[in-house]
Every structure is written in structure tokens, then in C-alpha cells.
Amino acid sequence: MEVLTTLFWIAVAVSVGMAAGWLFLRVLATALPGRAGRVFRSAPISAGFGMLVILIYLLVAILAPAIAPFSEREVVGGQFLPWDATHLLGTDNLGRDMFSRLVYGARNTVGIAFVTTALAFLLGSVLGLLAAAVGGWLDQVLSRVVDVLMAIPALVFSLLLLTIFGTSVVTLILVIAVIDSTRVFRLARSVGMNIVVMDFIEAARLRGEGLFHLIVREILPNASAPLIAEFGLRFCFVFLTISALSFLGLGIQPPTADWGSMVKENAVLITFGDITPLLPAGCIALLTVAVNFVVDWMLHRASGLKE
């Protein structure tokens, strides 16, 4: 019986999500004029759902102080209070308001993951495109270094570096960004390699264009589609890594509200049948699923595949 009710609620959640995604696409398609509107009209429901979720997360992250009833660090009541009108989702292990921390978590966790991904991307794509454009020994050296760095499992490598440099937000961002930039480098280089052999690059070289112009004006615009999709995938990966590290107590440090460490701090409730600690983990999962849906659609559009 319990299984049936669970299945029923899952079915309800899926259909509500699909309806919301469809509605969001309709709104976008009618609100945006011309070509942009047409793009959204043909988008799958999953992509609409994904975009809607990402938009909601963004709004929550930006408006966090306005939405949250309490501050993220303030102790406002007893420990592990149940859900009620003042404390919507109860309180955590120290008596802080769970809902407020969840809202601030959107800002902290997603913000840090985004900054890290952006940094990894900047580093990886610049070096990757440079290696493709210059070639020769520079390409050889960079590629071999990346090969060796990629032979170490990412989580293990980041744990090693965090031991050495200590655990703070800045080292966390730098360590993960450097490790993930190796993966971006691989993609940027292989995409760049296919572009530098084209005739228009030859023409630009003969015109006497400099390296900067070559990379930014000639290669980058043609490499943007796979790179943007990779950005989404990388974001998911970085987001999960940072959450895992925070969960292990080695990432974002308390008292900053962060979804990974919130799960760990309140995990004891799960054995008593309270699902509150699962909510932050669910927030992580929902955003990752949403980004994956959007990336799937973008890759599909970029490749022009018709399945």
C-alpha cells in the first residue's frame, strides 16, 4: 500500500513538472518575437521544465534575503523542531531555521559551483584553443601534462590537494577549477583542432591576423555550441563534486548554509523516518536533472540529429 502511495505521488510530481514545463515553453514562445519564439515552440517539454527550474533557482538565489524569514546563521528555536507555521521545514541540529538555510543554500552552493565552473572553463578553453591554434611543442607539453593529471581520479586528486592547501572556500574553488579545467582542455583542443584546418583560418593567417584575433574572432565563434553544452555538463559535475566534498565536511565550511553539509548535519533524522534531511539533497538532484535536460536539448539542436 505504501509503495502505491509513493508511486502515486511520483506520478503526480512528474505530471505537474511536465505541465509546468509545457506552460513555460508556451509563455516563452508567445512572449518572444520571431526566431527566438520559434526555437522555444519546437523545444521538448523536458527542456522547458529544465529552464523553468533553473530560472526559479536563479530567482531564489538572487532574492534569498527577501524570501527567507530568518538569517542563515541565527539560532531561532529548539533543535530538530518539526514542521509548523513559523518554521516551515522545522529547525536543524543547532536550532536554525531549515527553510531559510535551504534558501540561502541556493545562493552559496550554486554560486560557488558556478564561479568554479566559470574559472575552470576560462582556464581550460583558453589553453585548449591556444594549443590547437599554435600546435607544435606547446600543444605537446600541455597535452601530456593534462594526460597525466587526468590519470588521477578527480575526487581523490582534489582530496589530496585539499589536504595540502587546507579547506577554505577559495582553495576549494581553485582546486576544483584546476582539476576540471583539464577536462575542458581536452574538449576545447579537439574542437579547435577540427576548426584550425579549415580554409577560413588559412585565409585569416595569410591576412596576417594575430593569435588573439585568430582565437577570439575565428575559432571561438565556431566552437561555441559544443563548448556551451560542455559548460552545462561541467557545471553538473562540479556541483556534485562540491556537494560531495561539503557532505564529507571538506568543502564549504559551517556556519555557511550549504546543501551538502546540511544533509550531513541532519542525517540522523532519516533513521527516525523524517525526510527533512533529504530536501537539500533533493535540491541538488533537481538542479542537476534540470541542467542535464537543457543540455540534452541543446546538444540535440547543435548536432541537427533527428532520432
Partner 1 sequence: MSKIWIMIAKRLGLGVLTLFAISIIIFLATELLPGDLARSILGQSATEETVAAFQRELGLDQPAHVRYAQWLWGAVQGDFGTSLANRRPIADLIGTRLANTMFLAIYAAAIAVPLSLILGIMAALFRNTWFDRGANAVALSAISFPEFFVAYILIFVLAQSGLFPSMARIDSTTTFADALYKTFLPALTLTLVVTAHMMRMTRAAIINLLASPYIEMAQLKGMPPARIILVHALPNALAPIITVIALNLAYLITGVVVVEAVFVYPGLGQLMVDSVSKRDIPVVQAVALIFAAAYVLLNLLADVLATLSNPRLIHPK
Binding site for partner 1 (CB under 8 A): 147-149, 151-157, 159-167, 236, 240, 243-244, 247-250, 260, 263-264, 267, 270-271, 273, 275, 277-278, 281-282, 284-285, 288-289, 292, 296
Question: Closer to partner 1 at the Cβ: 162 or 196?
Answer: 162
How far, in Å, CA of 59 to CA of 67, rounded? Answer: 10
Grid cell locating 146 = 593534462
Q: Is 63 helix (H, G, I), strand (E, B) or coil?
A: coil
How far, in Å, CA of 271 to CA of 278, rounded? Answer: 12
On the 0-12 / 13-18 / 19+ scale of CB atoms within 10 A, 233 is middle
CB of 133 to partner 1, least distance (A): 26
CB of 9 to partner 1, least distance (A): 13
Question: Closer to partner 1 at the Cβ: 173 or 223?
Answer: 173
Question: Closer to partner 1 at the Cβ: 28 or 146?
Answer: 146
Question: If you write DSSP's letter for every residue of 240-277 in order, what string do you get?
Answer: HHHHHHHHTTSSSPTTS--HHHHHHHHGGGGGGT--TT
In single-letter form, the type of residue at position 202 comes to E
Contact between residue 193 and residue 247 where contact means Cβ atoms under 8 Å apart = no
Task: Name, in order, each residue with C-beta under 8 angstroms of 167's C-beta and a sequence gap of 6 or more.
Answer: 250, 251, 253
**Helix %, strand %, coil % of the chain (to 5):** 80, 0, 20
Question: Closer to partner 1 at the Cβ: 133 or 245?
Answer: 245
CB of 89 to partner 1, least distance (A): 16
CB of 42 to partner 1, least distance (A): 20
Question: Closer to partner 1 at the Cβ: 164 or 197?
Answer: 164
CB of 239 to partner 1, least distance (A): 9
Question: Closer to partner 1 at the Cβ: 33 or 273?
Answer: 273
How far, in Å, CA of 150 to CA of 182, rounded? Answer: 7
CB of 284 to partner 1, least distance (A): 5
Grid cell locating 284 = 541538488
Q: Is 33 helix (H, G, I), strand (E, B) or coil?
A: coil
Question: Closer to partner 1 at the Cβ: 210 or 304?
Answer: 304
CB of 199 to partner 1, least distance (A): 30
